[in-house]
Amino acid sequence: MEILFSKSRSLNYLLQSSRTCWHHYRNKSAAIFIIPRRFESIKAGEQLDVYNYKEDYHDGHDEHQTLNFPGGKVPITSQMRFISESSEKRLPCYRVLDDDGYLIPGTIFELVSKGLALNMYSTMVTLQTMDTIFYEAQRQGRLSFYLTSTGEEAINIASAAALTPDDIVLPQYREPGVLLWRGFTLQEFADQLFGNKADYGKGRQMPIHYGSNKLNYFTVSSPLTTQLPQAAGVAYSLKMDKKEACVVVYFGDGSTSEGDFHAGLNFAAVMEAPVIFLCRNNGWAISTPVTEQFRSDGIAIKGQAYGIRSIRVDGNDALAVYSATRAARQMAIKERRPILVEAMTYRVSHHSTSDDSTKYRCVKEIEQWRTAKSPITRFRKWIQRNGWWADKNETELRENSRKQIVEAIQAAEKVEKPPLTDLFSDVYDKMPSNLQEQERFIRDTIKRYPREYPFDVPQ
């Protein structure tokens, strides 16, 4: 098994230039295939080998005849052939651990220490427990809304572990694990969900719209895919400032149908911005399956059209996600280029608490992914075989996590809500007339219908 970035420089370059420790696990029957890098720069003028004419346009093609168009020289052929809408083979998916948690012979991956592995696993379990309890709290009527990351814990935690605190994160809404890894406390999560006075957003955002300036984590925004062009711009600013950091922007397969996907990737490619576009291809855009979302071979293949190096990785394999993200980060920073990572996974949960996914997909399929293909179970098997984990550790971890989360909820419920005036502050130095009118309208409505106004929100 190879770690393969589509049409990229040989990994030999990466291995030689990297100071990180790469572990090459091989046996006699395994083979490693390295794909050479396609070109030295992603600048359009240097993309001379834009298509494999030797294979597809051999007859009637003169290698010495070219046309010099704006953007580069183009080979000439006498054969009228259209590029196929799809290749004969699908892009491979990089994997390190099989479903039973065994290392796949011949796999190249980043060596993970015992301490890092246990930290990753503990955080994955905490995220899973947090999702379960907060989801139950919403069903009890204590929260207005919630959305889980069930089945996608490895993407959250493993990718976050591969970054540094200086790297900037622009999330979608299914990446609370990235924030958890960076140090956002369970109490901070609970305060945001309950919209109390301790919430950094002062209760003005929907639940799960987390953000932390201190942790370089942009606040979640509801509009789909807006974070992609924003991420390209943030990454370009890092490049201008010569920062040794990159941007990582998360999104789902459904986001690739939005125009901002094109805008973000194209801008990043042209400006050579150090940004990792990390797509969680979980099979569903709410109720729309990927078969109705696009006709391409997933997401990674799209990168080539933009001149962006890309890779497809098993999103339920923590070691694979960690290794691919580490490699992507190094290339993004050292070579000042965007990278597209497609993490293949499955959305085990409903889209949100407003959704019932059993209306459009099979319950048996969901349960299979929840149990047999769980990323947490797979990673646990690996650390147990290494002698780093035992059943006793598991019991203690889950009990402590549950206790801390319940306590955080109880504390958040007791904190006073932000005052009504906070709805209109922090935007303008002097409140404009239209907002003054809105505030008067709200206060007049409260006077007319006092029983309809929440008693725990100060006026």
Q: Provide the annotated active-site residues.
A: 136, 222, 351-352
Nearest to 251 by CA among 306, 178, 319: 178
Handedness of CA 93, 98, 104, 110 (dihedral sign): positive
The Cα 376–Cα 366 span in angstroms is 16
The Cα 312–Cα 180 span in angstroms is 25
